[in-house]
Homo-oligomer: A and B are copies of this chain.
């Protein structure tokens, strides 16, 4: 695949940049946030709702889909886009991260990883070549190499072994991907844990292999934000400017804003928090379980798409454990994330990203403000609920 037709930068503003990816299923505006559709559905949302929030691309999980319903089955049904009724771009991960976090009795060997399915205990082998094959069967617009993601903290020797194994798998993935359907992209994944030297070595070697894009894996797993950002900066400096950079599993709105010199992000946070009664808004997080919302007639945000519903009603739905609470808050959160990304892109294009960043931080800092009650009780400054 010609590199120039996949990623086009349209503006830069300091380290931040905006542009677009061209995939077989359409354009992805960057910086992009990818909602996570683990089991071929963004939890609690219809695909048309995901799209209407301003989503260009979703992520789906190879590990889950290879086990159920199976990659060959999805291919026979016309591919993942048709299966999940999402005719727009899809990125699939390689399965490596979930093998490490969900599977039982996994055994990592140079050939690949064998593990027992968390669903039925059956023995499964995942090799770099099979991961590429599965992602081709699914029909992913962007595929990821198989990697070994090490939990932190870890000994240097373990980090080094996993990084080198991931590099060897990167090369095999690249080879297996040759001849893939025109227009599909394959990304390499930088590993190395929290060791900057290992990360630099990983990045350099991957760049030599000439992937269509580069992901930074194994971060946002609990380390402090400044540690994550330092490692991301170290790595990014070595990656070619003309290729997209994907910071995997990131993250909170705060992390995305801080790390926005990268082009792609994904996280389960907006939908998971939505299912647990927490809304992201431009004035920070709002926990709808909190009793202070019980009589509040205001919507989450007067400008929000779900202005038809009061906080009192959302509180009621969350307390009553009604599906509609999870549905409405998942949508509100995905919409908030995508509005944030749109704000970021517009600010970069206008050369005003630093103003945007400060303004956004100031709104988060201000926090949510409690309403005046009917009795005229003074509106108290609301801390994080």
Contact = CB atoms under 8 A, between A and B. Distances in A.
A39 B77 contact: no
Interface in A59-91: 68-69, 73, 76-78, 83-85
Nearest to A64: B320
A313 interface: yes
B44 A323 contact: yes
A140 interface: no
Interface in A358-375: 374
Contacts of A315: 69
Nearest to A49: B46
Interface stretch (A144-152, A207-215, A304-312, A348-356): A304-312
B326 A323 contact: yes
A214 to B, nearest CB: 31
A346 interface: no
A83 B312 contact: yes
B323 A68 contact: no
Copies of this chain, count: 2
Interface in A122-149: none
Given A68-B316, A76-B374, A316-B39, A85 B322 contact: no
A71 to B, nearest CB: 13
B69 A294 contact: yes
Nearest to A326: B323
B297 A77 contact: yes
Interface string A294-338: 110100000000001110110111011011101110000000000
A295 B45 CA distance: 23
A159 interface: no
Nearest to A40: B316
B295 A73 contact: yes
A199 interface: no
B320 A68 contact: yes
Interface string A28-60: 000000000001110111100000000000000
A297 B76 CA distance: 9
B323 A43 contact: yes
A309 B78 CA distance: 12
Contacts of A85: 308-309, 313
Contacts of A77: 295, 297, 310, 312-313
A328 B40 CA distance: 14
Contacts of A78: 297
A310 B83 contact: yes
A233 B327 CA distance: 43
10 contacts: A39-B316, A39-B322, A40-B313, A43-B322, A43-B323, A44-B324, A44-B327, A69-B312, A73-B312, A83-B313
Interface of A: 39-41, 43-46, 68-69, 73, 76-78, 83-85, 294-295, 297, 308-310, 312-313, 315-317, 319-320, 322-324, 326-328, 374
Q: Please provide the 8 A-B residue pairs with the shortest distance between their CB atoms, ordered closest to farther.
A: A41-B324, A44-B323, A85-B308, A39-B320, A69-B316, A41-B322, A77-B312, A83-B313
